[in-house]
């Protein structure tokens, strides 16, 4: 990458010269979020005024060329501080509304935000999604305070979510990052993060902006990059996370590819950091956890089962190159009947580990490998939904905890396959998988 390359527009450069420096920066990546971005801007402005009245703050909107009024709304949204009982706002909130350069995607938007943070020498930064409806001014404090006052480098969010909300997080991102890096970060791809100016500078210096990181892979990349480089990490309780209704045209396969591709690519970069870690430890959690009702989520299990069954039927030659012989045989044995959809924790963990080592050994073109995992992921999601029907959120959380324990126990299997001279089918590890009972979530009930 050319060292002189800057992802910033000339107008943004001029704004930076005018502002000079800042203590705090809050970034909002956006694309056609006119319906929700006004609320997010108000929450950010109120949070900064209420909790950080003395600090010089900048709000950056990095936009992907919205066709609606997103940018105009960000620039013009006013906050009635009197209504919020905020009287001591002492510094002006600067706003930078800029389009980003590079590959269209959330990661490229973040890159612009990181670059602006570096130029302004910000001490603490936060990023929040433009489509989140449940954001409050307190989120800004919870994301920034640990960095400013406690010396943390990275603040991950901790939300209350419906048991079927965030299934990539629950079935893949959380168990895998926890098993790899030994830190129990519950929402590694949450979307809202706090981080130090130093970490922002580190992010922007990495040469990953032509990869999946430039798209939806950015969230998991930020988390893994922080933990793998020894940053001080904590979590902040933010309450419920309620999004704008999801984009129906969004392609799950592409999103899964970007997130998992970013995760696997980080594994390659940081193999030395994770290969020797054997167990996980809790990550400090700030805030005041409370129970709250979350929006119900409708799930079409039959469609997911149908996708999984078709994958089992049609993608077998491809899966046989990715998965270990025993894993594939076990998967087939578990799903002999046409209506079966069984991917218990130990099989699922080996599938993920097999896929990671196949990615590492370049058994298939990366794009093919990652996309071929979609039916497996849908099968696992359907299995989880069916197994957790009727369970409370706490009980479903215990199932996820059980999955994480299985991932940690199976890690030697991953290390063995990863370090093998070449990827080849191997037998199931002979170690005993006596996982502690996690609230009645023994594999037998599946």
* The pair of three-digit structure tokens given for residue 12, joined into one six-digit string: 């943004």
Instruction: Using CB under 8 A, pick the residue from 207, 422, 430, 432 that binds another protein.
Output: 422
- Does 391 bind another protein (CB under 8 A)? Our answer is no
What angle in degrees, to the nearest 10, is found between the helix axes of 137-150 and 34-51?
A: 50
Cβ atoms of 222 and 184 closer than 8 Å: no
Binding to another protein by CB under 8 A, coded x per residue (else -) over 172-211, reads -x---------------x----------------------
- Does 307 bind another protein (CB under 8 A)? Our answer is yes
Of 160-168, 262-270, 322-330, 404-412: span binding another protein (CB under 8 A): 160-168
- Does 339 bind another protein (CB under 8 A)? Our answer is no
Of 30-38, 136-144, 291-299, 328-336: span binding another protein (CB under 8 A): 291-299
Closest approach, Cβ 166 to another protein, in A, equals 5
- Does 374 bind another protein (CB under 8 A)? Our answer is yes
Of 88-96, 268-276, 338-346, 358-366: span binding another protein (CB under 8 A): 358-366
As a whole number of angstroms, the distance between CA 28 and CA 128 comes to 5
Which CB sits closer to another protein, 114 or 174? 174
Cβ atoms of 379 and 304 closer than 8 Å: yes
Instruction: Using CB under 8 A, pick the residue from 84, 318, 391, 433 that binds another protein.
Output: 318
Which CB sits closer to another protein, 108 or 374? 374
Instruction: Using CB under 8 A, pick the residue from 92, 252, 416, 431 that binds another protein.
Output: 252
Q: Which helix (H) or strand (E) holds 234?
A: strand 233-240
Residue indicated by tokens 């973040």: 110
DSSP-derived letter for residue 231 is -
Cβ atoms of 305 and 339 closer than 8 Å: yes
Instruction: Using CB under 8 A, pick the residue from 7, 47, 182, 311 that binds another protein.
Output: 311
Strands 285-286 and 124-127: unpaired
Strands 124-127 and 183-184: unpaired
Cα 169 to Cα 193, 219, 260, distances in angstroms: 15, 11, 11
Nearest CA to 60 among 75, 72, 39, 43?
75
- Does 315 bind another protein (CB under 8 A)? Our answer is yes
Instruction: Using CB under 8 A, pick the residue from 66, 70, 71, 167 that binds another protein.
Output: 167
As a whole number of angstroms, the distance between CA 75 and CA 98 comes to 10
Which CB sits closer to another protein, 248 or 390? 248
Count CB neighbours of 238 within 10 A.
Answer: 23
Closest approach, Cβ 366 to another protein, in A, equals 11
As a whole number of angstroms, the distance between CA 75 and CA 140 comes to 19
As a whole number of angstroms, the distance between CA 178 and CA 76 comes to 42
- Does 6 bind another protein (CB under 8 A)? Our answer is no
Cβ atoms of 226 and 199 closer than 8 Å: yes
* The pair of three-digit structure tokens given for residue 249, joined into one six-digit string: 């045209």
Counting residues that bind another protein (by CB under 8 A) gives: 43
Cα 119 to Cα 123, 137, 367, distances in angstroms: 11, 26, 35
Instruction: Using CB under 8 A, pick the residue from 115, 165, 212, 397 that binds another protein.
Output: 165
Instruction: Using CB under 8 A, pick the residue from 17, 67, 276, 298 that binds another protein.
Output: 298
Closest approach, Cβ 395 to another protein, in A, equals 19
Of 48-56, 178-186, 207-215, 361-369: span binding another protein (CB under 8 A): 361-369
- Does 355 bind another protein (CB under 8 A)? Our answer is no
Which CB sits closer to another protein, 278 or 367? 367
Handedness of CA 185, 183, 29, 268 (dihedral sign): negative
* Binding stretches for another protein (CB under 8 A): 164-169, 173, 189, 219, 243, 245-246, 248-249, 252-253, 255-256, 259, 297-300, 303, 306-307, 310-311, 314-315, 318, 362-365, 367-368, 371-372, 374-375, 381, 422
């Amino acid at each position: 990458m050319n060292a002189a390359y800057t992802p910033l527009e000339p107008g943004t450069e001029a704004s930076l010269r005018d502002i000079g420096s800042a203590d705090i920066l809050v970034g909002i990546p956006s694309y056609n979020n006119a319906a929700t971005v006004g609320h997010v801007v108000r929450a950010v402005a109120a949070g900064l005024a209420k909790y950080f009245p003395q600090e010089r703050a900048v709000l950056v909107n990095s936009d992907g060329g919205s066709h609606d009024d997103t940018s105009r709304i960000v620039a013009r949204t006013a906050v009635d501080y009197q209504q919020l009982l905020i009287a001591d706002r002492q510094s002006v909130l600067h706003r930078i509304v800029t389009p980003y350069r590079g590959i269209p995607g959330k990661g490229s938007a973040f890159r612009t935000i990181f670059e602006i943070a570096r130029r302004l020498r910000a001490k603490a930064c936060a990023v929040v999604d433009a489509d989140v409806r449940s954001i409050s001014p307190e989120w800004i404090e919870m994301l920034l305070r640990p960095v400013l006052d406690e010396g943390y480098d990275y603040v991950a969010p901790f939300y209350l979510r419906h048991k079927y909300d965030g299934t990539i997080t629950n079935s893949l991102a959380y168990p895998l990052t926890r098993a790899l890096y030994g830190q129990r970060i519950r929402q590694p791809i949450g979307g809202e993060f706090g981080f130090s100016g130093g970490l922002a500078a580190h992010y922007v210096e990495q040469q990953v902006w032509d990869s999946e990181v430039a798209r939806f892979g950015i969230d998991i990349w930020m988390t893994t990059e922080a933990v793998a480089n020894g940053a001080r990490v904590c979590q902040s309780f933010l309450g419920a996370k309620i999004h704008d209704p999801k984009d129906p045209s969004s392609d799950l396969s592409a999103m899964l590819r970007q997130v998992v591709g970013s995760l696997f690519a980080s594994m390659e970069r940081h193999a030395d950091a994770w290969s020797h870690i054997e167990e996980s430890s809790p990550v400090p959690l700030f805030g005041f956890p409370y129970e709250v009702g979350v929006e119900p989520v409708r799930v079409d299990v039959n469609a997911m089962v149908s996708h999984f069954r078709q994958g089992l039927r049609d993608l077998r030659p491809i899966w046989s190159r990715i998965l270990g012989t025993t894993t594939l045989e076990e998967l087939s044995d578990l799903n002999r009947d046409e209506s079966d959809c069984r991917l218990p924790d130990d099989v699922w963990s080996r599938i993920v580990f097999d896929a990671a080592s196949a990615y590492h050994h370049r058994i298939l073109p990366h794009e093919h490998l990652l996309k071929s995992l979609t039916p497996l992921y849908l099968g696992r999601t359907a299995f989880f939904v069916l197994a957790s029907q009727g369970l409370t959120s706490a009980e479903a959380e215990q199932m996820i905890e059980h999955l994480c324990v299985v991932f940690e126990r199976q890690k030697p299997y991953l290390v063995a396959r990863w370090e093998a001279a070449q990827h080849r089918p191997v037998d199931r590890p002979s170690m005993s998988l006596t996982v502690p009972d996690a609230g009645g979530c023994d594999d037998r009930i599946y």
